């Protein structure tokens, strides 16, 4: 495997869904609106169903009994629905930029009888509409790598958390150990784009997926990024051979 083939991009912000001069946020909006109808199915297929277990592990890491939760890049609402059932908060705000993804989330919440508990609304992670110190927990699952400015997004999450509040970041990652590293390399470069084309007709979106995973900060780099934003007690763990990582942190100061 040539070194050039596995070289990490200069920054996650430089990895774009489309070959377009548009800002990354606009490209991400267009991409998720395009794939909204097949998003859930492809998530489960491409992860062999492991994504459900990853979300369960993430919810278990929220141990401060939050009454008010913010779920960012909430998409079709799988994490918000799981948090509603398991944590029984007073309210979950599920924020996203894709109206089509949120429309599906709203239907799922209604079918589950949780519409009164989960509210879906437009939220730009880089400019949240909430006041400082609003939420007891903030979560983002599989969305951090899509942000136009990851550091700014994390700073906003810190701002809207109450002191003592918990941050949860669930993100796909690149395995580092043999043989998962080699197997995942082949899978991400060939199977994911092909499956995306066959099941959604959107090969480009599922070529962007592995490229964005390779670029996003991981491991100690991500922990340092969270610490730089002001989070304490930062920790991480990996699942399924390193394919998914969970990062947590606590806000101790305003």
Identify whether 98 is part of a domain.
yes
Identify whether 85 is part of a domain.
yes
pLDDT band at 194 (very low <50, low <70, confident <90, very high): confident
Residue 10: predicted pLDDT: 59
- Got the DSSP string for 142-163? S-GGG-S-HHHHHHHHHHHEEE
Identify whether 10 is part of a domain.
no
The tokens for 96 are 């996203």
Residue 4: predicted pLDDT: 38
Higher pLDDT pick, 163 / 176: 163
Higher pLDDT pick, 148 / 254: 148
pLDDT in tens, 54-101: 999 999 999 888 999 999 999 999 999 999 999 999 999 999 999 999
Identify whether 138 is part of a domain.
yes
The tokens for 216 are 């996003």
139 within 8 A of 70, measured Cβ to Cβ: yes
Domain tally for the chain?
Answer: 1
The tokens for 40 are 């859930």
Q: Domain range spanning residue 95?
A: 22-173+217-251
Tell me the CATH number at 244: 3.40.50.150
pLDDT in tens, 134-151: 999 999 999 999 999 999
Identify whether 208 is part of a domain.
no
Contact residues for 11 (Cβ-Cβ < 8 A; gap 6+): 215
CA distance 97 to 37: 16
Whether residue 44 is predicted with pLDDT greater than 70 in this model: the reply is yes
Identify whether 181 is part of a domain.
no
Helices (H), the chain: 3-6, 24-46, 50-60, 78-87, 99-111, 150-160, 180-186, 192-200, 203-215, 220-228
Whether residue 24 is predicted with pLDDT greater than 90 in this model: the reply is yes
Identify whether 32 is part of a domain.
yes
Identify whether 182 is part of a domain.
no
């Amino acid at each position: 495997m040539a070194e050039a083939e596995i070289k990490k991009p200069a920054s996650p912000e430089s990895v774009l869904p489309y070959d377009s001069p548009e800002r990354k946020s606009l490209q991400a909006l267009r991409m998720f609106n395009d794939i909204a109808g097949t998003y859930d199915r492809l998530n489960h297929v491409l992860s062999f169903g492991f994504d459900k277990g990853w979300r369960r592990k993430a919810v278990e890491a929220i141990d401060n009994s939050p009454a008010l939760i913010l779920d960012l890049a909430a998409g079709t609402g799988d994490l918000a629905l799981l948090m509603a059932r398991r944590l029984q908060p007073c309210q979950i705000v599920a924020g996203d930029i894709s109206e089509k993804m949120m429309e599906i989330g709203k239907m799922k919440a209604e079918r589950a009888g949780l519409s009164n508990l989960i509210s879906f609304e437009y939220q730009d992670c880089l400019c949240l509409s909430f006041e400082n110190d609003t939420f007891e927990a903030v979560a983002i699952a599989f969305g951090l790598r899509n942000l136009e400015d990851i550091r700014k997004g994390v700073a906003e999450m810190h701002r809207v958390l109450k002191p003592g509040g918990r941050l949860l970041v669930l993100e796909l990652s690149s395995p580092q150990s043999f043989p998962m590293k080699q197997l995942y390399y082949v899978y991400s470069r060939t199977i994911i784009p092909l499956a995306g084309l066959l099941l959604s007709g959107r090969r480009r979106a599922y070529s962007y997926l592995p490229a964005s995973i390779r670029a996003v900060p991981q491991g100690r780099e991500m922990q340092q990024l969270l610490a730089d934003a002001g989070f304490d007690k930062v920790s991480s763990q990996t699942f399924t051979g390193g394919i998914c990582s969970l990062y947590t942190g606590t806000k101790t100061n305003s």
